[in-house]
Amino acid sequence: MRQPVTEAFVEALRRLVAPDRVTTGAEALDTYSVDGLAREGHRPDVVVWPDGVDEVAAVARLCDQHLVPLVPRGAGTGYTGGAVPLFGGVVLALERLNRILEIDRSNLLAVVEPNVINGDLQQAVERVGLFYPPDPASLAKSALGGNVAENAGGPRAFKYGTTKRYVLGLEAVLPTGDVITTGGRTVKNVVGYDLTSLLVGSEGTLAIITKIVLRLLPKPLATATLRATFASVSAAAEAVSAVIDRGVEPATLELVDRDSLDAAQAYLGERLAPAGTEALLLIDVDGFASSIDEQASRVDDACRAAGAVEVLRALDAETREALWRVRRELSPALRTIAPLKLNHDVVVPKGRVPELFDLIHDLRQRSGLRIPSFGHAGDGNIHVNVMADPADADQVRRAHEVEQALFRRVIALGGVISGEHGIGFTKIPFVGLQLSPIEIALMRRIKQAFDPRGILNPGKMFPERPAH
Amino acid sequence: MRQPVTEAFVEALRRLVAPDRVTTGAEALDTYSVDGLAREGHRPDVVVWPDGVDEVAAVARLCDQHLVPLVPRGAGTGYTGGAVPLFGGVVLALERLNRILEIDRSNLLAVVEPNVINGDLQQAVERVGLFYPPDPASLAKSALGGNVAENAGGPRAFKYGTTKRYVLGLEAVLPTGDVITTGGRTVKNVVGYDLTSLLVGSEGTLAIITKIVLRLLPKPLATATLRATFASVSAAAEAVSAVIDRGVEPATLELVDRDSLDAAQAYLGERLAPAGTEALLLIDVDGFASSIDEQASRVDDACRAAGAVEVLRALDAETREALWRVRRELSPALRTIAPLKLNHDVVVPKGRVPELFDLIHDLRQRSGLRIPSFGHAGDGNIHVNVMADPADADQVRRAHEVEQALFRRVIALGGVISGEHGIGFTKIPFVGLQLSPIEIALMRRIKQAFDPRGILNPGKMFPERPAH
């Protein structure tokens, strides 16, 4: 049903939008063919930079009329190809919708356009004593519209929840060009179906987000960081449960395994933790100054009871950052191990994290591959990175076997195949492991309710044909 | 397209379900004709008590085949007629699905059937040191399935969020008889559209909930209650902002106005607050024992800075309960003022609560009616009760005028017409004030994706015909 982009169609786009904001130039087409994963690119036929909601609506309407695929794109930092135009057509680059429209202290909210960078909003609200918790690793580069489309998480999600918890309302353009607003400026709202939550995490397949109302919190008054090292992953996982058992809800509860630590140490050329460390936990506690000591002591006790080898504590920003350094350097460090990284963000119920690490250990042994794993242990959400050399066909084959086994066994543990990165197109082959044909068919019908002609970000989230 | 219930249909139901769990007896039909509002009842043709998901699915399939309306019902404590069978047909009474299936400490979750009473779950999880925050006023009677269907709130929603934040996953039966599971046992999950959030608050119009996975928290270690009285509502509202400004996020931030206080005092026959009190705030702070003093002092300061006449503080359960008594007795007290209570649960952005109370004052003056108002000031969610004598036609007319003006002006303040009670059928006339025809048409298409033949809880949430 999709139609190719014609010269006349591009001319029509130029009339709707300023001519210098429409291009078919090779360089732009290449730039907009990939996302943060930077592999498996697909070129669009044309890139358009709309200037506001009216232009977005006009472009959508034109694409709908002409059955031309339309792929909305924020900062393009996703990991599963959500912004990659699989079938050509139009990439709608939202870069010009990049203003913080409002920071409203008395109502504890911000109104932003989709291409405001997460970190820029964080800084802006913190300057006035407020706090926007979602902190994906990409926060210095990723756009809030993309964060909403993917329901981005981050370390602070353990205590504060993911992006979903902070989206009060949206303005969005349907593929047919109609503009809707969902939710509003209040925390509570039970009028009609919760379209806000439905759009969050819908990966640009239902509507194009043009404005976001975000809930803010008062900034925590104090924070401390603890770092505990363990001689086994299971002891670290036990410490996670022990912390929660002691009534503490840390802001973050991050785990780094030995493969990851080794990579970071090799990359930085220095020792970051005692010899024999098999796992380390990074735990932030925040809240009232008066409670920080109690919280830190409870965490300390819990870690030692679980067998921690060493527990360090930092109260000031500089020392805290030094403890976090190992975690921050993981992404660049892993790139140095092997060029191909199949990175997954599986989730298991939080009590089953030890079983997940047993599974990873087993996969490592069987495949002979390195599988550095780290992440949000408090949420049971672990980034499992299967490393391989793409020039070595056998390694690549084993890496894909590991991937299959990982997903199947995570689901058997009561888990899910993605906690943060979404499905895009790279994980479509695995969706059927988690969702039933009936559930997928229902989701397709919902897609159709928004996008009857199927032009918006086609080929994403679900297999193209019903999975019967 | 709806068809009447025939003898043969009832016989078929009896074959699907045990005969003694299907009735057309007048007494049962009356009982199941109303909800918590106990007015504007509509009788079903038949009541069925299924025993599990398979029977629910079989009944749904039969209704779908025969185009018979199917209305799922929990404890029937709603306020907007969500469980009232407007077009006869089958009431599916879920009373037998009432087991707590699991309380899982290591994964911080509970699995329940829909007719577990909220308060029973709270007690069960608190016995093992856990905490289920949503606390609608109906908690001693209302079922968790209904809480999910309506996205119930309550005082603790200010800090802890409404029911939505606690639903990890659902098992639900589509009107066609297909069984789906949504979400799961993990906090994070971005695979497919968020059907869990879509079902929460869908008022039994999309699917029949047969199992719920609820997230739990560790029980807060300590709680204190403060009660502050004010000589004006605006001073009380200012105190709410001042509390938040001081970095405190109280567990509850409830406001009671003078009309409400007068009603409670008359009902109980005793003075509950100093003479001249125009508003009082009930504020709970919770968390670590070490932080309670700091939090309480910050709240105390904030209230005094805003002009509080008196600030009381309670740390033990008994004294705390004594301070809360005025709030707990409000519902029975209001019943004694006037037999007709048009109770609304409007929401405004939290900074606009003073303007909402100005509006209520204005409506009181113009109508000559009593409008006791109280509720969740921290969320901007106020229960506005327009009191009238149904025997006095002029009073009733004025009450409905107040209702219209209230909704219009709340929306002009950036607010919404319902924060907790939903639309059911009693608020359908006002939905068009908040949602556009395009948005309503989109929601109808979503409804159709779940319920192509329109048998499930017809006549709820939206006007029957497109609102063009």
Beta carbons of A419 and B244 less than 8 Å apart: no
Which of A191, A248, A350 lies at the smallest CB-CB distance from B434?
A: A191
- The pLDDT value given to residue A403: 95
* Chain A environment of B234 (Cβ under 8 Å): none
Comparing alpha-carbon positions, the chain B residue that sits nearest to A434 is B191
Report field, pTM of the whole predicted structure over 0.80: yes
Say how far apart CA B350 and CA B416 lie, in whole Å.
12
Helix axes B7-16, B53-66, angle to 10 degrees: 160
Q: Which ranges of chain B have pLDDT less than 50? A: 466-468
The residue among B193, B240, B417 with the most chain A CBs within 10 A of its CB, best to mutate, is: B193
Say how far apart CA B29 and CA B6 lie, in whole Å.
16
Which of A191, A193, A447 lies at the smallest CB-CB distance from B416?
A: A191
- The pLDDT value given to residue A466: 44
CB-based contacts of A318, cutoff 8 Å, min separation 6:
none
- The pLDDT value given to residue A332: 86
Which of A219, A290, A381 lies at the smallest CB-CB distance from B290?
A: A290
Distance between B458 CA and the closest CA of chain A, angstroms: 14
Beta carbons of A420 and B108 less than 8 Å apart: no
* Chain B environment of A200 (Cβ under 8 Å): 194
Beta carbons of B416 and A162 less than 8 Å apart: no
- The pLDDT value given to residue B37: 83
- The pLDDT value given to residue B466: 44
Beta carbons of A349 and B185 less than 8 Å apart: yes
pLDDT, one tens digit per residue, over A245-302 is 898 999 999 999 999 999 999 999 999 999 999 999 999 999 999 899 999 999 999 9
Beta carbons of B188 and A448 less than 8 Å apart: no
* Chain A environment of B440 (Cβ under 8 Å): 192
Say how far apart CA B27 and CA A352 lie, in whole Å.
50
Distance between A268 CA and the closest CA of chain B, angstroms: 32
The residue among A193, A344, A436 with the most chain B CBs within 10 A of its CB, best to mutate, is: A193
Q: Which ranges of chain A have pLDDT less than 50? A: 466-468
Comparing alpha-carbon positions, the chain A residue that sits nearest to B411 is A184
Which of B178, B193, B416 lies at the smallest CB-CB distance from A189?
A: B416
Distance between A425 CA and the closest CA of chain B, angstroms: 12
The residue among A187, A214, A234, A238 with the most chain B CBs within 10 A of its CB, best to mutate, is: A187
Beta carbons of B291 and A290 less than 8 Å apart: yes
Say how far apart CA A307 and CA A278 lie, in whole Å.
12
Comparing alpha-carbon positions, the chain A residue that sits nearest to B193 is A202
